[in-house]
Structure formats: structure tokens, C-alpha cells
Amino acid sequence: MPILLSIGIAYILALGSGRLCAAIGLPRVTGYLMVGLAAGPSLGSLGLPALITQKQLHSLVPLHDVILGLIVFTIGGSFSLRAVRKMGMKRFRISAVEIGLTGLFVAFGTFAAGASPLTAGFLAVMAITTAPAATQMVLREYQSEGSLTDTILPLIGVNNLVAIIAFIMLKNSVLSDKATFSMALVQILGPFVLGTFVGMVVAIMDQRLTRQVERQILVLGSATVIAGMAAILDISAMLATLIAGTVAVNASPYGKRILKELTAIDYPLYVLFFIMAGAALHLESLGHMGIIGMAYVVMRLIGKFFGCRIGAFWADDSQTIKSWLGPAMLAQAGLAIGLAEVLAREWPGPGAKIQTVILASVVVFEGLGPLFTRTALVNAGEVTVLNLISQRSRVGYGEGLIQVLNQFENALGISTAAGRRGPAEILVGHIMRRNVEVISNRAPFDEVLKALGHSRYDRLPVVNDQNELVGVIKYADIANTLFDPNLRNLVVADDIATNVRLMLTPEDSLEKAMAALKNYPNDAYLLVVEQSNPKALVGIVRHNDLLSAHIRDLK
């Protein structure tokens, strides 16, 4: 079968599979992976016809690498150095504990299961990696927003950065008889030099290019150039692209504009990426993973869960991060497979066994990872109900056919149809976000100032010891105290909190919320409280969510 026909059929199947998964509460990316798995050579090895053959899959490798480059460039762009300065060492503490415990658990677990110390060491390094693509797709699908969402992508970048460097150092120190310090240095510093150069070029060109499509071409071309240069220089393309994204976004005066514009074209490419990723999964490897493979899977699960939780306690982070960061960091795919492939090539025998373990574990983690990420985001309150229920189709096939025929009759000027049925009413409870940043009414002024500096909004709700809403603090409320050093040591949050001018309830209609938007256009968000208890804060409604819901309601 021609490769274009295979890809076209896979795209159509992915559309249906993605919608089916969304309808039953699974991430769409799971559907895309399942289509790839069903269409790929893995099922062909079981005697079933393959829609995408191994030869076709191999011919798509350059396209796969370019799309992965776009994903990693976006991950790099999530590293805002300004945000890092504000947060201090909090996120790095979480990352250090999570990386350390995951590596230790996997190393000791696989060693106890019968692996050699060196094999256990390589498996520990690979366990650190986290798949950026699947995680990012889930974040985008559900339009999540909040502290957990802001934490996930940077930590994935740190994980992969550490894993690549650790792998290079371990491989060059134990698998070669030559003096390899200089080789290891080149393989570590090379991606930094290449990524920094390309990132600076992108930042400069970002200012000169005037059209959105030109900047999209720039990023696509940059990711392709890095992939090609990395192959020539035998360095990590993923590490170089990660650095390029970080440099480009932080050096450009326009910040993340170029990443936002990239979202207009990248989703269909990402769908193809996951079709290819699913086709590359090896189901048969599950039967060969053995005790070492099972130990790897179990220990990586434990390491990620407890590593993130303990790290969040050490960093004194929020309960949301403590509870739900671990489940959101489980996906594993491309980088681990790539490292295992290098190891199998350079360390025949033991390397091939490690590759079998990794290929089998990727089937598990790439299947469970997106589902755990979705669960974490929903339970963290960073996904609105509307974004969950809107995954379902607004009309059935029969109703859709009638509307299409009516519209065609309209175009011909012969329509006799009555007006269409309007959508179901949207309530505030459908569009509010439950993860609300609050501050205690007893917090000293400097803590208030720090909290506002870290917040994504220009105001913070204030609650008492019973978690009851007592007011809100805005930047304008702290101006006088900020410049009076005599007051700073005396004032607490309760002293500068002001009354909330308007509060909504989850049962309020979209029309009431839109009216509030007109009355208070300068408020970044509106507070939502229980209808029976106005002091019980249950969420916030952002202006952007209100406007998006209103536009959707009009369709």
C-alpha cells in the first residue's frame, strides 16, 4: 500500500479513535497511540496485516525527529528564567528529589531482581526520562491552567537534561577503552553550543519577521537544522533543541509569542507523531521483559510518585503539587527508546536486554501516562468542567446530516427548515477552575508581596483559619505600605484586604457572568462561592474562559 494512503487512512482512524476516547473520558492521545499500534508492524508480527509496514515506518523517521524537535523546542520555551528567579530553588528541589529517588529505586530494584550493577545503573538513568510529547498533548487538549500545569513541563525538561548528561558520562566512562573524557565533553557541550547558537538566531529573526507564518517556518526550519546537524556531529538533537527553545524564548523581546503562534499549525503534526509512536511500540516485548522488566516498571512508578511528593514537602510547595505532580510525570517514550538503541548498538548482549526492558516498559508507561496526567489535572482543579464535557460531540450523526442538508438548502435558497435547536445552558460551574491560590489573613506583608510576585494574577483571595473568604488583595492595595518601611513590619494581609465587590455561584448562568464581566472589565478573574455559604470559596472564573464559553454558546 502506498505510504500516503496508509497515512491518510491512519489520520481518519485517529480522528475517530480520538473522539471515542474523549467520549469515554480518556485523553485523545491514547486514541492516537492505539491507532498507531493497531496499524503498525507490531500486530503484523502476530500474523495480522499491517497498515504501516516496518519499511514505511523507517522512512518516516526523519519526519518523526522533526516533529519531536518541535515538541522539545516548546518544552525548552517553558523555561522562563524570570519565573525561575521568582520561584528560587523550589522547583529544583522537587526535581532533585524526584530524579534521585527514581534512580535509586530503579537501580536497587532491578539489581535485586538479578541485573548486573552496570545494567541497573543504565536502567536507573533511563527511568529518569519523561516523555514531553504525550504530556504536552494532554495539557493542550484540556486547556489546563494552574500551578501544577506550570510545574510539569519545566520538570520534564530538567529530567531529560539530567538523563542525557548522565547517560553520556556513564557510557563513555565504562563502555570504551579509549580516553573518552574529551569525547564526553564534546557530546555534552556540543548540544549546548549548537542550541544556544540556533536559539539566538531564532530570537533575532523573531524581531525582524513581520508575519506569523514566517515565524512558524523559522521554528520548523530551526528544528530541522538542529536534527540534521546533531546527526552529523553525533550529539543529542533533543538536548540541543531543548537549549534552543530556552534561549529563543528568554532572549526574544517578544517572549513566548513564537510558541503561541506555533500552536496554529502543530497539532496535526503531533497526531502523526503519536500514530508513528504507536506503530513503533513492540507488544511482543511484553512477553520478554522478565522479572527485571517488572521491577523496572514498579520501581519507576514508586520513584516518580514518592520522589515528587517528598520533593514537594521539602520545597514546602502546595498540597496540589504534593498530591498530583507524581502521576503527571509517568509518560515515557522517545528519549528512553533512543538511549536504549544507542546502548544496544555499542554494548552487544547486555545492551540488547536493556533495550527489551525499555521497549516493554514504554508500552506500559505510554499507555498509562496520558491517563494519569489527565487524572492529575482534573483532581488538581486545573481543568474546567466545560473542557471535559465539550469533548463530546454536540450533535449525533442523524441530527448532523439533517443540519447539513438544511444548510445546503439554505445555500440554494430553497430552505424550509425551522430554526436550529440551541445548545444546553452553560453555567458558571462549568467554566470555573477549582485550584485557587489563596493567602492567610495572618500572613505578614513581605509574604503577601512574595505571593503576589509568584501569582499569575494581580490579586489574591484572603482566607481565615477556617478557610473562609474574608477579602481580596490587589497590587493597588499594597502600594502605600510598600514604600513605607515603618508599616511593612506591622501590616498583615487582613489589614490591607478589601471587600469582594462581586461573587458568583456555580449555579449562576453564563449571562450573569458576562454581565459581571462588563461591570468589572479590569478584574483578571471573578470569585465563585457556594450559593448557600458566600464565605466558602470554591473557584475562580477567568475572563478568557468566560469569553471562550460565550463564543462557544453562540455557535
Res 305: pLDDT: 93
Asked if 311 contacts 329 with a C-beta cutoff of 8 angstroms, the reply is: no
Helix (H, G, I), strand (E, B) or coil at 419: coil
| pLDDT of amino acid 432 | 86
Q: What is the pLDDT of residue 101?
A: 95
Cell of 267: 497539532
Q: Please tell us whether the domain made up of 428-554 is placed in CATH 3.10.580.10.
A: yes
- Residues 413, 103: Cα–Cα separation, whole Å: 68
At 196 the pLDDT is: 94
Q: Which pTM does this prediction carry? A: 0.75
DSSP 422: P
For residue range 478-533, list pLDDT tens digits in order. 765 555 666 667 778 888 888 887 788 888 888 888 888 777 777 778 888 888 88
Residue 421: the pLDDT is: 41
Residue 241: Cβ-neighbour burial (10 angstroms; 0-12, 13-18, 19+):
buried
| pLDDT score at 56 | 86
CA distance 196 to 462: 43
For residue 112, is pLDDT > 80?
yes
Express as a percent the part of the chain with pLDDT over 90: 17
CATH class of 62-383: mainly alpha
Q: How many CB atoms lie within 10 A of CB 211?
A: 9
Residue intervals in the chain for CATH 1.20.1530.20 = 62-383
What tens digit of pLDDT does each residue of 129-144 get?
888 878 888 888 888 8
Q: Do the bridges between strand 525-529 and strand 537-542 make them parallel or antiparallel, or are there none, so unpaired?
A: antiparallel
Q: Band of the pLDDT at 247, cuts 50, 70, 90?
A: very high
Instruction: Map residue 53 onto helix, strand or coil.
Output: coil
CATH 3.10.580.10 domain residues, the chain: 428-554
Nearest by Cα to 423 from 477, 378, 384, 386:
386
234 sits in the region (left: phi over 0; alpha: psi -120 to 50; else beta) called left
Inform me whether the pLDDT recorded for 306 exceeds 90. yes
Q: What angle do CA 422, 28, 35 make, to 5 degrees?
A: 125
Do residues 89 and 82 make contact, with C-beta atoms less than 8 angstroms apart?
no
198 has pLDDT over 90: yes
Is residue 62 within a helix (H) or strand (E), and if so which, with residue range? Answer: helix 61-77
215: left (phi over 0), alpha (psi -120 to 50) or beta: alpha
Longest dimension (CA), the chain: 83
Residue among 194, 188, 157 at smallest CA distance from 171: 188
Q: Cell 496535526 maps to which residue?
A: 268
pLDDT at 397: 57
